[in-house]
Amino acid sequence: MDETRVLTLDPFTEGAEPASGLRVLDEVSARCEPSILSPENELARRCFTKETSVVLDPCFVPATPVDLPDLEKPGEAPLTVDTVALCFDDPARIEPTKVFVLEDNGAQPRQEAPFDPHWFLELEDGTRCTRVFGVQQVREDLPLTYGCDDGALYGGPDEEKQVWTIHHLPEDAETLEVAEIRTAWK
């Protein structure tokens, strides 16, 4: 591996349609605000669904405006939709949730994140990790920052070299080990 790739997820075509290969599994309506997991991406949102108490983050709105008719739901008054968003828990997952955005408070100016702005990391060995917040767990003086399909990551990425590294605690391991980061998504 020559260097860590840094990618920004853009799941829409120029016509604001879901990109080829994506298959929407679920549709909900929501109120959205700036993303916590992807704070530097101006198209990323954190959406609070109207139908459930689920929070979806990150969700992505298209760069170009979407002209949508009011959303008709049986037995309810029509809802005015501002735009649509596609929400992912893994950037490789081809089955996002489609959100009809009823209110979008996420188009505010973005500031540089005071923490690691990457919402998803893939390690060199293929381990996939999602950013976590609010977990007060510390290992070797490093805070828990990502939950992985195999363990967890502690601290932030070391971006000093072309191939970034981070402290990984594999499942069933006792001590942290340094792992290389293949890809980081903003």
Task: Write out the E strands in the chain.
Answer: 5-7, 26-34, 44-49, 55-60, 83-87, 97-104, 120-123, 128-131, 138-139, 142-148, 151-158, 165-169, 177-185
The pTM of this model reads 0.83
Same domain, 9 and 100: yes
Please report which confidence band the pLDDT of residue 63 belongs to, taking 50, 70 and 90 as the band edges: confident
Q: How many domains does the chain have?
A: 2
Q: What are the helix (H) ranges across the chain?
A: none
pLDDT at 86: 94
Q: Domain check: are 99 and 127 in the same one? A: no
**Do residue 18 and residue 96 come from a single domain?**
yes
32-45 average pLDDT score: 88
Residues 16 and 88 in one domain: yes
pLDDT at 135 over 70: yes
Residue 93: per-residue pLDDT: 84
Residue 125 falls within a domain, yes or no?
yes
Q: Are residues 23 and 93 in the same domain?
A: yes
Same-domain check for residues 98 and 160 = no
Residue 185 has pLDDT above 70, yes or no: yes
Whether 87 and 149 map to the same domain: the answer is no
Question: pLDDT (tens digit, 9 = 90+) per residue, 68-92?
Answer: 666 566 666 556 677 889 999 889 8
Residue range(s) defining the domain that contains residue 32: 5-104
Same structural domain for residues 158 and 73? no
